[in-house]
Structure 1
Amino acid sequence: MNNGLRITTFAAALAATFGAAYGVGQGIDPVVADSPPKHRDEHTRPAPEQAEGDGHGGHDTPPAGGLQISEGGYTLDLDTPRVTAGKQADLRFTVRDAGGRAVTAYQREHDKELHLIVASRDLVTYRHLHPTRAADGTWSTPVDLPRAGGYRVFADFTPAGKDAENLTLGADLAASGPYRARPLPPASTTARIDGYEVKLSGAPQPGKASELKLKVSRDGKPVTDLQPYLGAYGHLVALRSGDLAYLHVHPNGEPGDGTTRPGPDISFTATAPSAGAYRLFLDFKHEGEVHTAAFTVRAGGAAAGSGTPEGHVEDGHGH
C-alpha cells in the first residue's frame, strides 16, 4: 500500500471513530446542571398550575443536589469516611472554601446553620442530624448506623454572605460489617410510624412543579395540633433511587402566617429533576416528639399504589 493510500484510509477510520463518539455524547444528558440557579425559598415558589417546565429537565427544573463533593468553591471534607455498623461513632466533617480554609460563618435557615442527612444506598436507613460546630469550623455529631453497607452524607447549608447560594454537598460513608442487600421498599401512599398514620396524595413530576399533600392522623383521628419543627409543620427530603440525588423541599406556608393550620394536612411543592423512583422522608413533631414517615413514589410514571404500607424508617430519625 502506498503512503497516499495509507493516509487516506487512516483519516477515514479516524473520522468514523470521532463521529460515533460524538453521536454517543449527544445522546446522554448531564445529571447535574453546570450552573445551578441560586436558592429560592419554597415558600415563594409559584403554585403548581403557574410553574412552567417542559418535563425534560428544562431551565425551570432544579438541578439534582448532593451528587458532588465540591460545588461553588466549597468542599465537604469528611473526616470520618468509615464507621462500624451497630456501634456509635463520632461523625466529623468540615466545609472548606476555595482556599482550603474551614468555613465558620453560615446563614441560619430553618432554625439551623447546617442540616445533615445520612441515608443508606438502599434508602432504608435515614438520619436527619443537627451537628454542632466548633470554633475552628469542625462539625461533629454522634451517629449509630444499624447495618453494614454504603451510605451517603449530605450537608445542606448556605455560607454567610450577601450573594451566597444554598448548597447541598455529598460524600460517601462506609459502615463495616456483614452486608446484606435490600430492595427499595415498595411504593405506597400510606405510612405507619410510631402509632401515627400518614397518607400521601400527589407525586413529584419531572420538570414540573406539583403539590404533595400529607395528612397526619392517630387512632383514626386527624392530628390538628402539630408543633413547629425547623420553622414549619413538616420537613420533607426526597432522594432519587440509584444515585441518591437530593431534592430538599419546604412546606407551602409556615406557622404564624395567618393561613397555615397545624395539621392534619401538610402541603409541599416539589419538582423532580428526572423521571424515576424516589424515597420521601417526612419529619413532623407532635407532643414533643419528632417522627419520620417514609414513602416510595415514582416521578414520571404511574402513581404510587396502595399496597402494603411502608412507612418504617430503620431506627427512625436521628435528631
Structure 2
Amino acid sequence: MHAGLRITAFAAALAATFGTAYGAGEAVGPVVEDPAPARHESHSEASPAPEGGGGHGEHGGNETEPAGGLEISEDGYTLDLRTPSVTAGRSTDLSFVIRDDDGRAVTAYRREHDKELHLIVASRDLGTYRHLHPTRAADGTWSIPVALPRAGDYRVFADFTPEKKGAENLTLGADLAASGTYEAQRLPAPNTTAETDGYDVRLDGGLRPGKESELKLEVSRDGKPVTDLQPYLGAYGHLVALRSGDLAYLHVHPNGEPGDGTTRPGPEISFTATAPSSGAYRLFLDFKHEGEVHTAAFTVRAGTAAAATG
C-alpha cells in the first residue's frame, strides 16, 4: 500500500481553450499540446501557473512539489495513444501502447493494487471521470471500450510500474478529443457531501500545498453508516485527485488495508495526500458495496478547509 502521494516530474501545461463546437462526426486531433518533458534536476524549482483562465481553473504559482500526469514521456517510457479522437456518445475501442526507450512495446508490468495498469480518463472541465482497467494483448497493446458522454478535450492517464529492476511507478498522460457539440461546464463549488447511486459520502479534511494532510470519507445509505464495504483494488476505497486547469494528477490510497487487523470495512475511509500547489482540485472516490463500484466526487481548494463554500 502507498501511504501517500506518488508524484512525477512535470512541466506545467496550459489549460485547454475550446471553441463553441467540435466537428460532429469528424475525427479531430487533441486540442492541447503535451508540454515538453521536465528536467529531473528541476524538482525543487517553482513551476509557472497556467496563463489566463477563469478563477475556478487557476492555481497559484507557488508550486512546492512536482505533480504527475502532465508528461507523455518520462524515465524512458512513452504513452503511445493510438486512439487520439472519439465521437461523443458512441462506444469506441480506446487503444494504446507503453513503449520503452528503444520504442518497443512494454509487455511486463508489476501488479499494483490488483492491476498491472490503471487508466483514468477525465474531461478538461472535470465534469466527466472514468477509472478503467483495459486488457493487454500479448504484443503489449492495451484496449478497452469507452463511451464519453460529452464532446470536448479529455486527458488520458496511464498509471503503471514496469517489471524492471529499479523501475518506479509512473503516471503518463496524453490528450484525447471527443467530437460533437461542445458546451463548457464550470467546476462545481467546493463541497463536503456528495450523493451517488443512493449513497451519501461526507468529506472531512482538506489539502495543504506541500504538506501531508488526512482526508476522511464516510459512507452512508438511507441515513445509516455502511459498515460492510468490500475490497476494491486491494483497499476499501480508491482516491484520485486532479488539479483544475492543467489536470495535474494525484493518486493516493487509504491508510490501511483489508485484513491488516485494524482497518474496518467502513463507514470511514482515511487517506493521506499532499497537494503539489495551491488551487482547486477535484477528488474522485471509488468504493465497492454489494458487488457494485460507486464514485463520489468533491471539489476542494488546497490550503482551504474542505468546509469552504467557494
TM-score normalised by L of structure 2: 0.80
Aligned pair partner of 2:136 in 110, 114, 133: 133
Equivalent residue, structure 2, for 1:90: 93
In structure 2, the gaps of 5 or more residues are 1-9, 13-36, 43-61
Equivalent position SS for 2:80: strand
In structure 1, the gaps of 5 or more residues are 1-28, 38-55, 308-319
Amino acid at match of 2:268: D
Provide, for residues 43-84 of structure 1, a one-character-per-residue CA deviation record: whole Å limited to 9, x for no partner: xxxxxxxxxxxxx655xx4x2100000000000000000000
Task: Measure the CA separation in 1 of the matches of 2:298 and 2:41.
Answer: 27
1:157 aligns with 2:160: yes
Equivalent residue, structure 2, for 1:226: 229
Equivalent residue, structure 2, for 1:201: 204
Deviation of 1:30 after TM superposition, in Å, equals 5.7
Task: Measure the CA separation in 2 of the matches of 1:89 and 1:200.
Answer: 35
- Aligned partners of 2:204 and 2:306 also within 8 Å: no
Deviation of 1:162 after TM superposition, in Å, equals 2.1
Task: Measure the CA separation in 1 of the matches of 2:87 and 2:224.
Answer: 41
Aligned pair partner of 2:297 in 294, 299, 306: 294
Amino acid at match of 1:132: T
Equivalent residue, structure 1, for 2:220: 217
Aligned pair partner of 1:35 in 27, 36, 40: 40
Equivalent residue, structure 2, for 1:69: 72
Deviation of 1:302 after TM superposition, in Å, equals 5.0
Task: Measure the CA separation in 2 of the matches of 1:33 and 1:221.
Answer: 48
1:271 aligns with 2:274: yes
Amino acid at match of 1:229: Y
Deviation of 1:300 after TM superposition, in Å, equals 1.8
Task: Measure the CA separation in 2 of the matches of 1:36 and 1:151.
Answer: 29
- Aligned partners of 1:296 and 1:304 also within 8 Å: no
Provide, for residues 247-293 of structure 1, a one-character-per-residue CA deviation record: whole Å limited to 9, x for no partner: 00110000000000000000000000000000000000000000000
Deviation of 1:204 after TM superposition, in Å, equals 1.0
The residue correspondences of 1:232-247 to structure 2 (distance < 5 A) are 232-247=235-250
Equivalent residue, structure 2, for 1:120: 123
Return structure 1 stretches of 4+ with deviation > 6 angstroms: none
Amino acid at match of 2:77: Y
Amino acid at match of 1:164: A
- Aligned partners of 2:237 and 2:254 also within 8 Å: yes
Equivalent position SS for 2:264: coil
Amino acid at match of 1:241: S
Task: Measure the CA separation in 1 of the matches of 2:40 and 2:160.
Answer: 18
Equivalent position SS for 2:111: coil
Equivalent position SS for 2:195: strand
1:169 aligns with 2:172: yes
Task: Measure the CA separation in 1 of the matches of 2:305 and 2:216.
Answer: 17
Task: Measure the CA separation in 2 of the matches of 1:36 and 1:260.
Answer: 38
- Aligned partners of 2:78 and 2:100 also within 8 Å: yes
Deviation of 1:161 after TM superposition, in Å, equals 1.5
Say which structure, 1 or 2, has more relative contact order (CA 8 Å, 6+ apart).
2
Aligned pair partner of 2:258 in 255, 260, 264: 255
Deviation of 1:34 after TM superposition, in Å, equals 3.5
Question: Once the two structures are aligned, what percentage of the paired residues are identical?
Answer: 79
Amino acid at match of 1:243: D
CA distance 1:303–1:262, change in 2 (3 Å): closer
* Superposition RMSD in Å: 1.9
Larger radius of gyration: 1
- Aligned partners of 2:97 and 2:140 also within 8 Å: yes
The residue correspondences of 1:40-59 to structure 2 (distance < 5 A) are 57-58=63-64
Task: Measure the CA separation in 2 of the matches of 1:192 and 1:201.
Answer: 15
